């Protein structure tokens, strides 16, 4: 069972000084990774990652996750290699197949089918492996073979690609539709997803880390508000036992820490990511889970 790792996905940019201050605060709080999502209306991942690394000392930086069908694989490889070198090898590259049709329409990019998007992701990963494995490729990434790859998803086809190629498999803990709407899954569904991936991994099991993005944190007093907020994203039977839903965390600090230890034992998930609004609320758990 791996040691816990903790990431925070930053959702807003502000000024240069505000961005630097937030990133330094994340490092001070004990987070291991600063993530930057890839959605229109949010900061562009690569420049934000480079500045985050420049402003901090040890924390890793991650694209969580790139909307791969937006990009040409060869041109994206150049971006990735450059970011890896400019961050002195502190980059972790998160990849996803994309799921919000409106973002493709806004960018003037055709919206492929789900199968096509997964195929594009697989092609991109293969391109990375080929180019970064070539000693003549320029710019050379900071590490041989390129930075670690995190691949996020939930469906069978995408998880097959992740099991073959990823250093980190990020379980979304939810299904999506083309509108970008998330429908959360219960622990039994995550059990099935993890079992499916473990079977595919075979001898790679000990080399691959499992991640989960926590969409919401709530104290016991905040539980009613959480249930109301999650009503559009969870079926009624899961709302009744919202504490068990993997993509949320409910309880006081002791209960939250215990639940995360239980989930690590049950699912093998040791790498946890929270959203920026929950950064300070989650921070006290870091020391508790490392003790």
- pLDDT tens-digit readout, 158-169: 999 999 999 999
38-72 pLDDT tens trace: 999 999 999 999 999 999 999 999 999 999 999 99
Spatial contact of 150 and 64, defined as CB atoms under 8 Å apart: yes
The DSSP line for 137-152 is: -SSPPSSTT-S-EEEE
Minimal CA–CA distance to 172: which of 164, 5, 162?
162
pLDDT tens string 193-241: 999 999 999 999 999 999 999 999 999 999 999 999 999 999 999 999 9
Q: Could you tell me the pTM of the whole model? A: 0.96
Report DSSP state, residue 180: -
**Of 233, 247, 246, 275, residue with least CA distance to 12:** 275
Hey, what are 161's tokens? 């690609």
Alpha helices (runs of H) in the chain, residue ranges in sequence order: 16-28, 45-55, 73-86, 101-107, 114-132, 156-165, 187-201, 223-230, 236-239, 253-267, 279-290
H or E stretch covering 2: none
The residues facing 168 across adjacent strands are: 150, 209
Secondary structure of residue 3 in the 3-state scheme: coil
Check whether 291 has a pLDDT greater than 90.
no
Is residue 94 scored above 70 in pLDDT?
yes
Residue with structure tokens 């240069």?
Answer: 16
Rounded to whole angstroms, the Cα distance separating 169 from 162 reads 6
CA-based nearest residue to 156, from 237, 71, 97: 97
Mean pLDDT score of the chain, rounded to an integer?
Answer: 96
Q: Is the dihedral of CA 76, 80, 83, 86 positive or negative?
A: negative
Q: Which of 244, 158, 230, 167 lies closest to 193, judged by CA?
A: 158
> ∠ at Cα 266 (264, 272), nearest 5°?
30
pLDDT band at 1 (very low <50, low <70, confident <90, very high): low
CB 36, CB 60: distance < 8 Å: no
Per-residue pLDDT at 177 exceeds 80: no
């Amino acid at each position: 069972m791996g040691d816990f790792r903790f990431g925070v996905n930053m959702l807003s940019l502000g000024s240069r000084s505000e961005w630097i201050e937030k990133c330094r605060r994340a490092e001070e709080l004990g987070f291991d990774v600063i993530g930057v999502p890839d959605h229109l209306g949010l900061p562009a991942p690569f420049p934000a990652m480079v500045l985050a690394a420049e402003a901090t000392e040890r924390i890793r930086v991650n694209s969580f996750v790139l909307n791969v069908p937006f990009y040409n694989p060869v041109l994206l490889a150049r971006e990735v290699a450059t970011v890896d070198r400019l961050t002195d090898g502190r980059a972790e590259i998160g990849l996803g197949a994309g799921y919000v049709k409106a973002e493709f329409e806004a960018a003037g990019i055709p919206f492929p089918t789900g199968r096509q998007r997964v195929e594009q992701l697989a092609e991109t990963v293969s391109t990375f492996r080929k180019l970064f494995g070539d000693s003549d490729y320029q710019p050379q990434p900071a590490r041989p073979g390129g930075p670690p790859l995190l691949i996020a998803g939930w469906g069978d086809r995408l998880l097959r690609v992740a099991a073959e190629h990823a250093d980190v498999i990020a379980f979304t803990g939810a299904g999506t539709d083309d509108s970008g709407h998330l429908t959360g899954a219960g622990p039994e569904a995550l059990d099935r997803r993890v079992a499916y991936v473990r079977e595919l991994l075979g001898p790679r099991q000990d080399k691959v880390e499992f991640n989960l993005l926590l969409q919401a944190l709530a104290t016991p007093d905040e539980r009613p508000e959480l249930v109301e907020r999650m009503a559009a994203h969870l079926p009624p039977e899961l709302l009744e036992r919202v504490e068990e839903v993997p993509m949320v965390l409910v309880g006081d600090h002791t209960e939250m820490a215990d639940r995360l230890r239980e989930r690590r034992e049950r699912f093998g998930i040791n790498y946890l990511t929270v959203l920026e609004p929950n950064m300070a609320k989650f921070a006290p758990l870091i020391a508790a889970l490392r003790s």
